[in-house]
Amino acid sequence: MPVANYLERRGELKTYFDRTAADNWARLTSDAPVSGIRATVRAGRDEMRNTLLSWLPANMTGMRLLDAGCGTGALSIEVARRGAHVVAIDLSPTLVEVARERIPADVDPALIDFRSGDMLDPKAGEFDFVVAMDSLIHYLPADICKIMAGLAARTSQAMLVTFAPKTPALALMHFVGGFFPRGDRAPAIEPVAEQKLRKLLTADPALQQWQIGRTHRVARGFYTSQALEMIRR
């Protein structure tokens, strides 16, 4: 993996989500009222999370899942309800603390190990499933491929990830976003054409035991993301 690229972007993301945007992100992922633009992002994320959950087994008792980039923990909580043991990792200690506080009474907190750190940390162990919802969208395509190859080495069944599809609408939003003051900008999203990402994944020697499965695009206002399933052969 191009370590410098990954580490540099990882540092930018930690700073942004743990300091600049922590309060806004906690609000966005709650039931609190938000602006029209943020409402479309919330709706899009809800649809995407439900899509990924629908690709996981209904009964996950005894299984282990890595929620890579767990944010405030909504997906982790739903997976724990299915009986899975979840390792939920996020770069932002602030968002991880919010996630801990949001564990509902009907979920055994022992089923979710919320921690702040790197999703590629091998100390997290091995998993049946990995989910990375909107946590790879800030990385270059080659880095996405290498991240998935690293996760694949510790995953036995499937990896469910999302990426930013390269579309005219998304390109326009990025162009407009470039006019905002630098301090208000999120780290850049790196759109990638689906065929290019597929080509990189299928060509990677570390992913030869994997095949691409389902895919689904969600486009809601200012939210555009595409889910991709990879299954171990």
pLDDT tens-digit profile of 78-124? 999 999 999 999 999 999 999 999 999 999 999 999 999 999 999 99
Look up the pTM and report it: 0.91
Judged against a pLDDT cut of 70, whether residue 24 lies above it is answered with: yes
> When comparing pLDDT for 46 and 171, which is higher?
46
Distance CA 209, CA 205 (A): 9
Structure tokens at 172: 């326009």
pLDDT, residue 181, reads 43
Q: How far is CA 164 from the centre of its chain?
A: 11
Residue 162: which pLDDT band, with cuts at 50, 70 and 90? very high
Q: Domain range for residue 26?
A: 2-232
89 in Cβ contact with 117 (< 8 Å): yes
Residue 183: which pLDDT band, with cuts at 50, 70 and 90? very low
3-class SS letters over the chain? CCHHHHHHHHHHHHHHHHHHCHHHHHHHCCCCCCCHHHHHHHHHHHHHHHHHHHCCCCCCCCCEEEEECCCCCHHHHHHHHCCCEEEEEECCHHHHHHHHHCCCCCCCHHHEEEEECCCCCHHHCCEEEEEECCCCCCCCHHHHHHHHHHHHCCEEEEEEEEECECCHHHHHHHHHHCCCCHHHCCCCCCCECHHHHHHHHHHCHHHCCEEEEEEEEEEECCEEEEEEEEEEC
Q: What is the CATH number of the domain that holds 79?
A: 3.40.50.150
22 in Cβ contact with 95 (< 8 Å): yes
- The count of structural domains within the chain is 1
Q: What one-letter code names the amino acid at 163?
A: F
Rg value, the chain, Cα: 17
Selection from 134, 128, 131 nearest residue 84 by Cα: 128
